Amino acid sequence: MAHSSVPEEAADRGVLLERLAVDVDPQLLELALTHRSYAYEHGGLPHNERLEFLGDAILGKAVTVKLYRDNPKLDEGDLAKRRASLVSSIALAEIARSLNLGAFLRLGRGEERTGGRDKSSILADAVEAVIGAVYLSTDDDVATQFVLRLVQPLADDPERFGGALDPKTSLQEVAARRGAGLPVYSITATGPDHSRSFTATVTVGDLVTATGIGSSKKQAEMAAALDAFNSLVRKRRKGDPAESTDTAPTPV
Protein backbone atom coordinates (compact mmCIF):
# COMPACT_ATOMS: atom_id res chain seq x y z
CA MET A 1 0.00 0.00 0.00
CA ALA A 2 1.34 3.42 -0.92
CA HIS A 3 2.29 5.75 1.89
CA SER A 4 0.10 8.75 2.58
CA SER A 5 1.11 11.90 0.78
CA VAL A 6 3.93 13.82 2.38
CA PRO A 7 4.98 17.38 1.48
CA GLU A 8 7.97 17.58 -0.85
CA GLU A 9 9.93 19.33 1.88
CA ALA A 10 10.11 15.99 3.72
CA ALA A 11 12.99 15.01 1.44
CA ASP A 12 14.91 18.17 2.29
CA ARG A 13 16.24 18.16 5.83
CA GLY A 14 17.66 21.62 5.10
CA VAL A 15 14.14 23.05 5.34
CA LEU A 16 13.78 21.61 8.82
CA LEU A 17 17.22 22.80 9.86
CA GLU A 18 16.23 26.33 8.88
CA ARG A 19 13.18 26.09 11.10
CA LEU A 20 15.17 24.69 14.00
CA ALA A 21 17.74 27.49 13.58
CA VAL A 22 20.47 25.49 15.30
CA ASP A 23 23.33 23.31 14.13
CA VAL A 24 22.47 19.62 14.32
CA ASP A 25 24.58 16.73 13.13
CA PRO A 26 22.74 15.33 10.04
CA GLN A 27 23.03 11.73 11.21
CA LEU A 28 21.71 12.57 14.65
CA LEU A 29 18.82 14.52 13.13
CA GLU A 30 17.96 11.56 10.90
CA LEU A 31 18.02 9.30 13.95
CA ALA A 32 15.77 11.70 15.86
CA LEU A 33 13.22 11.51 13.05
CA THR A 34 13.24 7.70 12.82
CA HIS A 35 10.28 6.09 14.56
CA ARG A 36 10.62 2.53 15.80
CA SER A 37 7.94 1.36 13.34
CA TYR A 38 10.23 2.36 10.46
CA ALA A 39 13.27 0.85 12.15
CA TYR A 40 11.57 -2.52 12.64
CA GLU A 41 10.43 -2.65 9.03
CA HIS A 42 13.98 -2.01 7.84
CA GLY A 43 15.90 -4.73 9.60
CA GLY A 44 16.09 -3.28 13.09
CA LEU A 45 17.69 0.07 12.37
CA PRO A 46 18.46 2.37 15.30
CA HIS A 47 15.48 4.58 16.19
CA ASN A 48 14.84 7.72 18.19
CA GLU A 49 13.87 6.38 21.63
CA ARG A 50 17.32 6.78 23.23
CA LEU A 51 17.49 10.36 21.98
CA GLU A 52 13.96 10.87 23.27
CA PHE A 53 15.09 9.72 26.73
CA LEU A 54 17.96 12.21 26.67
CA GLY A 55 15.86 15.05 25.30
CA ASP A 56 13.19 14.53 27.95
CA ALA A 57 15.77 15.17 30.70
CA ILE A 58 17.14 18.28 28.98
CA LEU A 59 13.64 19.63 28.36
CA GLY A 60 12.62 19.08 31.97
CA LYS A 61 15.70 20.78 33.36
CA ALA A 62 15.46 23.81 31.08
CA VAL A 63 11.75 24.36 31.76
CA THR A 64 12.14 23.81 35.51
CA VAL A 65 14.91 26.40 35.82
CA LYS A 66 13.02 28.89 33.66
CA LEU A 67 9.83 28.59 35.70
CA TYR A 68 11.73 28.83 38.97
CA ARG A 69 13.50 32.03 37.92
CA ASP A 70 10.53 33.66 36.20
CA ASN A 71 7.98 33.00 38.95
CA PRO A 72 9.52 33.78 42.36
CA LYS A 73 6.09 33.98 44.03
CA LEU A 74 4.77 30.59 42.91
CA ASP A 75 4.97 27.67 45.31
CA GLU A 76 6.19 24.19 44.45
CA GLY A 77 2.74 22.90 43.53
CA ASP A 78 2.02 25.70 41.07
CA LEU A 79 5.47 25.39 39.51
CA ALA A 80 4.99 21.65 39.08
CA LYS A 81 1.63 22.13 37.36
CA ARG A 82 3.04 24.70 34.95
CA ARG A 83 6.00 22.51 34.19
CA ALA A 84 3.71 19.56 33.51
CA SER A 85 1.75 21.72 31.09
CA LEU A 86 4.80 22.89 29.14
CA VAL A 87 6.35 19.43 28.82
CA SER A 88 3.13 17.48 28.22
CA SER A 89 2.60 15.46 25.06
CA ILE A 90 -0.07 17.95 23.98
CA ALA A 91 2.25 20.94 24.36
CA LEU A 92 5.13 19.19 22.59
CA ALA A 93 2.82 18.09 19.79
CA GLU A 94 1.79 21.73 19.32
CA ILE A 95 5.46 22.64 18.99
CA ALA A 96 5.98 19.83 16.49
CA ARG A 97 3.06 21.00 14.38
CA SER A 98 4.38 24.56 14.35
CA LEU A 99 7.55 23.14 12.79
CA ASN A 100 5.61 20.76 10.52
CA LEU A 101 7.82 18.08 12.05
CA GLY A 102 5.46 15.28 11.09
CA ALA A 103 6.32 15.76 7.42
CA PHE A 104 9.93 14.81 8.10
CA LEU A 105 9.38 11.66 10.16
CA ARG A 106 10.41 8.20 8.98
CA LEU A 107 7.43 5.99 9.79
CA GLY A 108 6.48 2.39 9.15
CA ARG A 109 3.60 1.50 6.86
CA GLY A 110 1.21 0.85 9.73
CA GLU A 111 1.77 4.28 11.26
CA GLU A 112 1.43 5.90 7.84
CA ARG A 113 -1.96 4.26 7.38
CA THR A 114 -3.24 5.30 10.80
CA GLY A 115 -2.22 8.96 10.61
CA GLY A 116 1.04 8.68 12.52
CA ARG A 117 2.35 11.96 11.16
CA ASP A 118 -0.24 13.80 13.24
CA LYS A 119 -0.35 11.58 16.34
CA SER A 120 0.41 13.71 19.37
CA SER A 121 2.40 10.94 21.04
CA ILE A 122 4.69 10.39 18.04
CA LEU A 123 5.15 14.13 17.47
CA ALA A 124 5.93 14.77 21.14
CA ASP A 125 8.50 11.97 21.21
CA ALA A 126 10.12 13.35 18.07
CA VAL A 127 10.46 16.81 19.62
CA GLU A 128 12.25 15.30 22.62
CA ALA A 129 14.49 13.28 20.30
CA VAL A 130 15.39 16.41 18.33
CA ILE A 131 16.26 18.15 21.59
CA GLY A 132 18.55 15.22 22.41
CA ALA A 133 20.16 15.47 18.99
CA VAL A 134 20.74 19.20 19.45
CA TYR A 135 22.37 18.57 22.83
CA LEU A 136 24.76 15.95 21.41
CA SER A 137 25.55 18.18 18.43
CA THR A 138 26.27 21.31 20.49
CA ASP A 139 26.39 21.69 24.27
CA ASP A 140 24.17 22.19 27.28
CA ASP A 141 23.85 25.97 26.90
CA VAL A 142 22.85 25.82 23.25
CA ALA A 143 20.40 22.99 23.89
CA THR A 144 18.84 24.90 26.79
CA GLN A 145 18.37 28.02 24.68
CA PHE A 146 16.87 25.85 21.93
CA VAL A 147 14.35 24.37 24.37
CA LEU A 148 13.41 27.80 25.74
CA ARG A 149 12.85 29.10 22.23
CA LEU A 150 10.51 26.21 21.49
CA VAL A 151 8.42 26.57 24.64
CA GLN A 152 8.41 30.38 24.85
CA PRO A 153 5.23 30.88 22.78
CA LEU A 154 3.35 28.55 25.12
CA ALA A 155 4.78 30.15 28.25
CA ASP A 156 4.04 33.68 26.99
CA ASP A 157 0.40 33.06 26.06
CA PRO A 158 -1.70 32.86 29.24
CA GLU A 159 -4.80 31.73 27.38
CA ARG A 160 -3.15 28.82 25.64
CA PHE A 161 -1.14 28.08 28.76
CA GLY A 162 -4.30 27.91 30.83
CA GLY A 163 -6.01 25.68 28.30
CA ALA A 164 -3.08 23.29 28.08
CA LEU A 165 -3.16 22.73 31.84
CA ASP A 166 -6.52 20.99 31.51
CA PRO A 167 -7.96 21.37 28.00
CA LYS A 168 -11.20 19.46 28.63
CA THR A 169 -12.08 21.54 31.70
CA SER A 170 -11.04 24.77 29.96
CA LEU A 171 -13.23 23.99 26.96
CA GLN A 172 -16.14 23.12 29.22
CA GLU A 173 -15.79 26.48 31.00
CA VAL A 174 -15.85 28.37 27.70
CA ALA A 175 -18.89 26.39 26.56
CA ALA A 176 -20.70 27.19 29.82
CA ARG A 177 -19.98 30.91 29.49
CA ARG A 178 -21.40 30.84 25.99
CA GLY A 179 -24.47 28.85 27.02
CA ALA A 180 -23.59 26.15 24.52
CA GLY A 181 -24.01 23.16 26.84
CA LEU A 182 -21.42 20.50 27.50
CA PRO A 183 -18.91 19.58 24.80
CA VAL A 184 -19.86 16.31 23.09
CA TYR A 185 -17.11 13.81 22.25
CA SER A 186 -17.10 10.89 19.85
CA ILE A 187 -14.26 8.39 19.38
CA THR A 188 -13.18 6.15 16.53
CA ALA A 189 -10.29 3.68 16.57
CA THR A 190 -8.13 2.15 13.86
CA GLY A 191 -5.22 -0.26 13.72
CA PRO A 192 -4.44 -3.59 15.40
CA ASP A 193 -4.99 -4.12 19.12
CA HIS A 194 -1.30 -3.68 19.95
CA SER A 195 -1.05 -0.39 18.05
CA ARG A 196 -4.42 1.35 18.18
CA SER A 197 -4.87 4.92 17.02
CA PHE A 198 -7.80 6.92 18.37
CA THR A 199 -9.46 9.93 16.76
CA ALA A 200 -11.69 12.12 18.91
CA THR A 201 -14.17 14.67 17.60
CA VAL A 202 -15.58 17.28 19.95
CA THR A 203 -18.52 19.54 19.18
CA VAL A 204 -19.47 22.61 21.23
CA GLY A 205 -22.99 23.53 20.16
CA ASP A 206 -22.73 25.42 16.91
CA LEU A 207 -19.54 27.21 18.01
CA VAL A 208 -16.82 24.81 16.95
CA THR A 209 -16.01 21.23 15.97
CA ALA A 210 -12.45 19.93 16.34
CA THR A 211 -10.58 16.66 16.15
CA GLY A 212 -7.55 15.16 17.87
CA ILE A 213 -5.49 12.00 17.42
CA GLY A 214 -3.76 10.00 20.13
CA SER A 215 -2.58 6.56 21.18
CA SER A 216 -5.34 6.46 23.84
CA LYS A 217 -8.92 7.70 24.05
CA LYS A 218 -7.98 10.18 26.77
CA GLN A 219 -5.08 11.61 24.78
CA ALA A 220 -7.23 11.98 21.65
CA GLU A 221 -9.98 13.76 23.61
CA MET A 222 -7.48 16.12 25.22
CA ALA A 223 -5.96 16.97 21.84
CA ALA A 224 -9.41 17.64 20.37
CA ALA A 225 -10.40 19.76 23.37
CA LEU A 226 -7.25 21.86 23.15
CA ASP A 227 -7.78 22.43 19.42
CA ALA A 228 -11.38 23.51 20.05
CA PHE A 229 -10.37 25.75 22.95
CA ASN A 230 -7.64 27.44 20.88
CA SER A 231 -10.10 27.96 18.00
CA LEU A 232 -12.48 29.81 20.32
CA VAL A 233 -9.61 31.90 21.70
CA ARG A 234 -8.53 32.85 18.17
CA LYS A 235 -12.09 33.91 17.33
CA ARG A 236 -12.17 36.19 20.35
CA ARG A 237 -8.84 37.75 19.41
CA LYS A 238 -10.16 38.51 15.95
CA GLY A 239 -12.95 40.53 17.49
CA ASP A 240 -15.86 38.12 17.33
CA PRO A 241 -18.48 39.98 19.44
CA ALA A 242 -19.91 36.69 20.66
CA GLU A 243 -16.55 35.89 22.20
CA SER A 244 -16.02 39.23 23.88
CA THR A 245 -17.05 38.11 27.35
CA ASP A 246 -14.83 35.04 27.48
CA THR A 247 -11.86 35.11 29.78
CA ALA A 248 -8.96 32.73 29.95
CA PRO A 249 -9.13 29.89 32.44
CA THR A 250 -7.00 30.60 35.45
CA PRO A 251 -4.12 28.11 35.85
CA VAL A 252 -4.41 26.24 39.09
Residues marked active site are found at: 56, 128
Q: Within 10 Å of residue 139's Cβ, how many Cβ atoms?
A: 10
| Binding-site annotation: residue ranges for Mg(2+) | 52, 125, 128
Strands (E), 118-173: none
CA 142 to chain centre: 22
Instruction: Collapse the DSSP code of 138 into the 3-class scheme (helix H, G, I; strand E, B; otherwise coil) and give the result.
Output: coil
The edge-to-edge listing of strands for the beta sheet with 184-190 is 184-190, 197-204, 208-214
Quote the CA–CA distance of 56 and 71 in Å, as a whole number: 22
Quote the CA–CA distance of 128 and 51 in Å, as a whole number: 7
Quote the CA–CA distance of 145 and 135 in Å, as a whole number: 10
Quote the CA–CA distance of 26 and 130 in Å, as a whole number: 11
DSSP 240: -
Q: Measure Cα distances from 153 to 44, 91, 94 in Å.
A: 37, 10, 10
Report the greatest alpha carbon distance in the chain: 57
